[in-house]
Amino acid sequence: MAELELPRPVSQPSAGPLDGKFWDLIEADFRRLAKDHPIYATYLGIHDDDGRLDDATRDAVIQDIEDARKLETALEAVDPAGLSESVKLERELALHNVRHELFNSEVHRVWERRSTAMDQVGDALFGIFARDYAPLAERLAAITERMEAVPAALEQHKTRATAPQVKIWQELEIDAGEQMPFFFDEIKAAGRGLLDERAQARLDKAAESASAATAAYIETVKASMGATVEDWALGSDAYDQLVGLRAFDGLDADQILEIGHRQLELNKAARVDDARRIDPTASEPEVVDRVKSNHPATFDEALAAYKDAMFRSRAYIIEHDIATMPAGEQISVIRTPEYLRTVIPFAAYFEPPKFDKHPSGIYIVTPSVGDDPNAMREHNWASISNTSVHEAYPGHHLQLSAATRHPSLVRLLTDAPEFVEGWGMYSEQMMREQGFDDGPEFLLAMHTDAIWRACRIILDVRMHRGEMTVDEGTAFLIEHTGFEHANAQAEVFRYTYTPTYQLSYLLGKVMLLQLRADEQKRLGDQFSLKKFHDSLMNNGSLPISFHRRILAADAARAGVNG
């Protein structure tokens, strides 16, 4: 790690006397983060410690909090007057990041109220197993070391549970733990015929030991269920505080909730129009059922269709000059691992590791939750197109492939799902506006997904303010989306421990459309859709309020009036 060369952006318009001090602080903290959290380092493409797991003890979490506090104090002590204009923004963004992190650690405190050992184990292995940054035999050696460390890590996780554990979260841990051995078996099978006898025997032993330790750990979680609590909601005051920390362009929770209700109404009306265009003689539910029933026969065929849709979209972007493709970007599409299916019921994306030599994104698609016989209805042809636009081109993969190339470590560590997820949803609408798969069945799928995301806004706010239970949230989602029960329930379970994340999808789209409209008004004939997209993608995954400032500053430097 000490030999890793860390990038620094060029100061704009010229360097300030304290720019170097600021970047020294950021780089020192980044090196600490990568050293103390080898699982995260692996995801970034830093492979010095691929054989280690994080210290999962309560003491390690407390140390992280202390380190974050020290960083906040040090950043506050850097006088903005000594910084260049561009580094002033980086300082504000770094403070935004650390304050958000401290809220999660000190106020929300999921880490001590929910067992997350299965997340750590799964992420530690998946990050190595799914990416081909090195020959498989070499990666399996690192996985073997990590699996050998699993029993100790599971014991460490137990030290965190000093507060009452949340029942629904523990049930998720149990479900994930019962699926984890299947992942271990998949890893063992990958070594057969590739590894020599000694390496395979060590891998098999490590997997068996990890499986036994996982089973024992899950039994401990089950035994503690009688002492769990039902209360998981953040509460109105803390929720308002979190909304403020997210920098949503001044929007408060009530305004966000209003956006959710308005978007639910608008998208429902749009779907009625879509259904009428498809078949004016049938009812809307009949048309929706017909579209959902039009799907590939098998999941293997669906997976091939996802790949086809995303590459058609990629070609369309290039042909119509909608955005610039980063040189050498790569993506693979795979099935969602078993241990993730209860919390990712449809699809998800993992961004290219910044420091890998040949970074590639991973697009995962879930066959079903709990072997649901109706699961293929969610993989209908229209939805496959919409999801591939959202997850791949020009959605997450294209945006994040560009974002990871920005030299700022501050931007690399920024958590702004209203931009990342908002961009995915914005991409769905923008591509239809540009003529890609814009038939009524595709629009129906898009508006159906937007109805789901509008529900997310409403449920996010109301559930975390204590106004709706999990069962009520599940029923609400089924009522408005028609999801199968297993998928709806998996969705709502996820909402309980990710406040303000789920609302970010459609809220972000609304904010991006407003930003685009504002830029079109400000620039008039000088507005370029491609330049707008390239600016957003190349400047990193930032809160939209920060993107607004960057666009204005760029225009001012270019002498564009607005």
User: Token pair of 320, please?
Assistant: 């119509």
| Low-confidence winner among 11-25, 275-289, 325-339, 431-445 (lowest mean pLDDT) | 325-339
Mean pLDDT of the chain, nearest integer: 94
Element (H, E) at 462: helix 440-464
pLDDT at position 246 is 96
The CA distances from residue 385 to 68, 295, 390, in Å, are 42, 12, 9
At 482, is the pLDDT very low, low, confident or very high (cuts 50, 70, 90)?
A: confident
263: nearest Cα among 491, 453, 421: 453
At 364, is the pLDDT very low, low, confident or very high (cuts 50, 70, 90)?
A: confident
HEC sequence for 320-382? CCCCCCCCCCCEEEEECCHHHCCCCCCEEEECCCCCCCCCCEEEEECCCCCCCCCHHHHHCHH
pLDDT at position 347 is 81
Please state, in angstroms and rounded to a whole number, the distance separating the CA atoms of residues 536 and 324.
11
**Does 373 have pLDDT greater than 60?**
yes
What are 192-209's pLDDT values in tens digits?
Answer: 999 999 999 999 999 999
User: Token pair of 17, please?
Assistant: 């006397």
pLDDT at position 369 is 67
DSSP result, 20-73: HHHHHHHHHHHHHHHHH-HHHHHHHT--TTTT-----SHHHHHHHHHHHHHHHH
pLDDT, average across residues 256-260 = 98
Please state, in angstroms and rounded to a whole number, the distance separating the CA atoms of residues 451 and 506.
9
Q: What is the DSSP letter of 166?
A: B
Phi, psi of 42 (to 5 degrees): -60, -45
pLDDT, average across residues 460-484 = 94
pLDDT at position 343 is 59
pLDDT at position 366 is 87
| Low-confidence winner among 91-100, 348-357, 462-471, 478-487 (lowest mean pLDDT) | 478-487
Q: For residue 109, is it left (φ>0), alpha (ψ between -120 and 50) or beta?
A: left
**Does 167 have pLDDT greater than 70?**
yes
371 versus 408: the higher-pLDDT residue is 408
Q: Which residues touch 301 (CB under 8 Å, ≥6 apart)?
A: none
**Does 444 have pLDDT greater than 90?**
yes
Please state, in angstroms and rounded to a whole number, the distance separating the CA atoms of residues 384 and 365.
10
pLDDT, average across residues 249-276 = 97
What are 514-535's pLDDT values in tens digits?
Answer: 999 999 999 999 999 999 999 9
Q: What percent of the chain has pLDDT over 90?
A: 87
Phi, psi of 157 (to 5 degrees): -60, -30
pLDDT, average across residues 319-339 = 91
427: nearest Cα among 403, 457, 397, 452: 397
At 339, is the pLDDT very low, low, confident or very high (cuts 50, 70, 90)?
A: low
Phi, psi of 405 (to 5 degrees): -85, -10
Contact 424, 449 (CB under 8 A): no
| Low-confidence winner among 121-125, 287-291, 435-439, 482-486 (lowest mean pLDDT) | 482-486
**Does 367 have pLDDT greater than 60?**
yes
| Low-confidence winner among 233-247, 318-332, 479-493 (lowest mean pLDDT) | 479-493
**Does 1 have pLDDT greater than 70?**
no
Please state, in angstroms and rounded to a whole number, the distance separating the CA atoms of residues 469 and 557.
51
pLDDT, average across residues 172-179 = 94
**Rounded to 5°, angle at Cα 545 from 528 and 109:** 140
Q: Where does residue 529 rank: exposed (0-12), middle (13-18), buried (19+ CB within 10 A)? A: middle
Distant-in-sequence contacts of 197-205, Cβ < 8 A, 24+ apart? 199/137, 199/140, 199/141, 199/144, 202/144, 203/140, 203/143, 203/144, 203/147
Q: What percent of the chain has pLDDT over 70?
A: 98
Please state, in angstroms and rounded to a whole number, the distance separating the CA atoms of residues 42 and 61.
19
**Does 556 have pLDDT greater than 90?**
no
Q: What is the largest CA-CA distance in the chain?
A: 71
185 versus 561: the higher-pLDDT residue is 185
**Does 312 have pLDDT greater than 60?**
yes
DSSP result, 495-562: HTT-TTTTTHHHHHHHHHHHHHHHHHHHHGGG--HHHHHHHHHHT-S--HHHHHHHHHHHHHHTT---
**Does 560 have pLDDT greater than 90?**
no
Distant-in-sequence contacts of 510-515, Cβ < 8 A, 24+ apart? 510/259, 510/263, 510/422, 511/248, 511/249, 511/418, 511/422, 511/544, 512/419, 512/422, 512/423, 512/426, 512/536, 512/544, 513/426, 513/429, 515/544, 515/547, 515/548, 515/551
Please state, in angstroms and rounded to a whole number, the distance separating the CA atoms of residues 304 and 174.
32
pLDDT at position 286 is 96
pLDDT at position 132 is 85
What are 87-117's pLDDT values in tens digits?
Answer: 999 999 999 999 999 999 999 999 999 999 9
**Does 212 have pLDDT greater than 80?**
yes
**Does 213 have pLDDT greater than 70?**
yes
**Rounded to 5°, angle at Cα 488 from 286 and 447:** 50
**Does 176 have pLDDT greater than 80?**
yes
**Does 412 have pLDDT greater than 90?**
yes
Please state, in angstroms and rounded to a whole number, the distance separating the CA atoms of residues 342 and 89.
39
Q: Which residues touch 198 (CB under 8 Å, ≥6 apart)?
A: none
